[in-house]
Structure 1
Amino acid sequence: MLERKKLFVGHDANRAGAQLVLLHWLRERKARGLSNFLLLVEGGSLLQEYKKVAKVWVWKTDIPFWFKIKQRIPKIKSRQAWNHEPSEQKVLGILKSLRNEAFTSILGNTVSSVGLLRELASLQIPMEVYVHELSHSIATYTTALDRTFLATGIQRLYAVSNMVKNVLETDLAVDANKIALLPPIIELHEQEQSHKSFIRENLGIPVDAKIVFSCGLAEWRKAPDVFLEVAKKLIVKMPKVHFIWLGMLENEYSDDLIANTAIWDSKKQVHLLPVCSDSRPYFEAMDVFFLSSREDPFPLVMLEAAHVGKPIVGVRASGGVNDFLQGLDELLVESWDVDVLVDKISSLLQLSPEQLAGYQQNLKERAVQYSAALFMDRWAQLQSK
């Protein structure tokens, strides 16, 4: 099938799930000799990675270095925040560039990009949206006008999981015939030399201690508070167990989590760490992956945990974990009841080597179904319909 000239639109370049899905997609397209074009609402830590695989425009204005320096000097610090909104001249320049490219379709990656898609309506180009969000995020990151446009002005929508598809149909009244299921793409690296000893030595975790791990930007949706409540109770039940959360941020919410944990974690068995670019050593070192999320449409970290063959505990109602673990009901719980979660995780930490080997094979086989090659096959099938 002849490749149409497509403009991808993303809401930012931060290191998070939907943004990484888009990056993996663009990388695979480039590897296949396809040209990529990307318009971002704003930048972020992945911006340079995006620029390696696509021609990139950024709609909003980034904070210049001189303003960041100025804000650190008390006597001259400005009381006003930097205005990120683009000037009329910049907007007209981007729109002119996009018209000159003569795109045949536009694909927004996440509902957070829909506000910008509305700004592009004057281009009169058919639009699609790849939806990675559930009810709370849709309500938080879109306006009423965005939601109306999503339901009526978008030609086709791709849902990352069945729960997302259901939300689009029930909450936004999107015609079911306009929605297709498109699970995510992930880069799954070949098994490398184990980093277990490095992580344990670095964090002071004994060789014989079990590790429960989770990974994600610390926010309400990811439920690090639930993770910590479980840690508090499970440490009483299994005194040697350690918990690691990778994804603390520089904000009040993370600061409060760290401070409150320090009050009861007298033996320093809970490790609350900042975001890092290479999380694989933590996946290799852990014994159980605890997906505490309240809302997680299809978490890539779940696929990473499965690829190293470690048991996953998740809440059925949270989103994509239900799709991925279908048939492994013993790994799912029905709610965020802390006592139930403690019992579930503790039982998995005590599995025999034979039981663990069974999970390892099963989960690895599931993870590889989200490879770049299979994602591109699914995409091609959807485009042919």
Structure 2
Amino acid sequence: MVESKKLFVGHDANRAGAQLVLLHWLRERKAQGLTNYLLLVDGGSLLEEYKKVAQVWVWRTERPLWFKVKQRIPGIRQAAEWDRTPSKRKMAGILSSLRAEAFDCILGNTVSSVSLLRELVSLHVPFEVYVHELSYSISNFTSEEDRKFMAGQVSRVYAVSALVKTVLEKEVGIAADKIDLLPPIIELPAATQNTHDPVRTALGIPADSQIVFSCGLAEWRKAPDVFLEVAKQLITKMPTVHFIWLGMLDNEYSDNLIATTAIWDTKKQVHLLPVCSDSRPYFEAMDVFFLSSREDPFPLVMLEAAHVGKPIVGVRASGGVNDFLQGLDELLVESWDVAVLVDKISSLLQLSPAQLADYQQNLKERAVQYSAALFMDRWAQLHSK
């Protein structure tokens, strides 16, 4: 198969699941000798990584340095939001550069990129979209015009999980024969050989205390509130267990979660931490991974947890966890009932070494099915139809 000349379009370069999937994909394409082209709506912490593997254009205008500094100075009246809509001259320049490349296909990575795809119709190139979102995100991050564009003018749509495919058919109105299932790609690091546990050392967690872990940007979809209610009740039942959430943000929602938890977490067994670039030590330190999400189309963190062989608890209706854990129904619950979740997690914390070894082998074997090589094989199969 001859790979078409493709323009990828992303909504930003923040360190989150869909953006990381795209980064892994571009890295693998470059490793295979392919040239990558990427148009982003906005920048972010992964921008320099993207630039290592692709020619990159950024649509929106960067805020000036003085604006960023002023926004961070306490007591100073905040500046009005900077209008970041690109000038007509900038838009024309980007469109001219893209037209000169003569792309065969434009692929949007996430529904949040669709509004920018609509700006590219003058290029007269077929559109595709890789969808990593479910109902809440689709309704919040697309307009009615975006959804009509997806249903009517996008030639192929790739759904990251079975539930995403169902939502695209029933709620967006995309014909079933235009949608293909394409699970994500992930780079799984080799296991580290720590002579000590840096997480327990840093957080003061005793060696004999078990750890329930989760991570993700603290927002409604990820349900850190559910995670914390489970922590509150499970600590009462199992007084030595510790809970860690990696992904607190600098906003009112995270501040409220931290303040509310401090009221009852008198022995400091709940650790609410900000995002970090290397989460691997937390996965290696944990005993159970608790995916509390209300919506999670196909969480990469689930694959990271599986790769270290630790049991995963998730809610079947949340999305990709149901795809990944097929055949391991004992790890899934049917709802966000806190009492049921507490019982499920406590039972997993009491597994025998032999039971843990079985899960470790099973989950690791599942995780490696999302390697770069297998993703590229799936991609090639979809395009050989």
- Give the TM-score normalised by the residue count of structure 2: 0.98
Q: Which moved more, 1:373-382 or 1:68-77?
A: 68-77
Alignment of 1:51-200 (within 5 A): 51-72=51-72, 79-194=79-194, 197-200=197-200
Shift of 1:248: 0.3
Instruction: Give the 3-state SS of the residue equivalent to 1:150 in structure 2.
Output: helix
CA distance in 2 between partners of 1:195 and 1:260 (Å): 36
Instruction: Give the 3-state SS of the residue equivalent to 1:273 in structure 2.
Output: strand
Q: 1:37 to 1:238 in 2, by over 3 A?
A: same
Contact persistence 2:247–2:274 (CA under 8 A):
yes
Instruction: Give the 3-state SS of the residue equivalent to 1:212 in structure 2.
Output: strand
Alignment of 1:205-224 (within 5 A): 205-224=205-224
CA distance in 2 between partners of 1:283 and 1:32 (Å): 30
Shift of 1:74: 7.2
Q: 1:349 to 1:356 in 2, by over 3 A?
A: same
Amino acid at match of 1:383: H
CA distance in 2 between partners of 1:285 and 1:151 (Å): 45
CA distance in 2 between partners of 1:295 and 1:226 (Å): 13
Once superposed, what is the RMSD of the aligned Cα atoms?
Answer: 1.2
2:260 is aligned with 1:248: no
Instruction: Give the 3-state SS of the residue equivalent to 2:90 in structure 1.
Output: helix
Contact persistence 2:70–2:79 (CA under 8 A):
no
Q: Map Cα deviations across residues 184-226 of structure 1 (whole Å, 9 max, x no partner).
A: 0000112121376211010010000000000100000000000
Map of 1:321 onto structure 2: 321
- The gaps in structure 1 that reach 5 residues or longer are none
CA distance in 1 between partners of 2:73 and 2:339 (Å): 49
Amino acid at match of 1:33: G
Q: Map Cα deviations across residues 330-383 of structure 1 (whole Å, 9 max, x no partner).
A: 000000000000000000000000000000000000000000000000000111
Amino acid at match of 2:186: I
CA distance in 1 between partners of 2:82 and 2:357 (Å): 54
CA distance in 1 between partners of 2:69 and 2:362 (Å): 52
Contact persistence 1:218–1:248 (CA under 8 A):
yes
The structure 1 segments of at least 4 consecutive aligned residues displaced by more than 3 Å after TM superposition are: 70-79
Map of 2:375 onto structure 1: 375
Instruction: Give the 3-state SS of the residue equivalent to 1:350 in structure 2.
Output: coil
Q: 1:38 to 1:329 in 2, by over 3 A?
A: same
Amino acid at match of 1:99: R
Shift of 1:46: 0.3
CA distance in 1 between partners of 2:181 and 2:195 (Å): 36
Q: Percent identity?
A: 78
Q: 1:13 to 1:362 in 2, by over 3 A?
A: same
Q: 1:167 to 1:57 in 2, by over 3 A?
A: same
- Give the TM-score normalised by the residue count of structure 1: 0.98
Q: Which moved more, 1:83-92 or 1:369-378?
A: 83-92
Contact persistence 2:42–2:58 (CA under 8 A):
yes
Shift of 1:77: 5.0
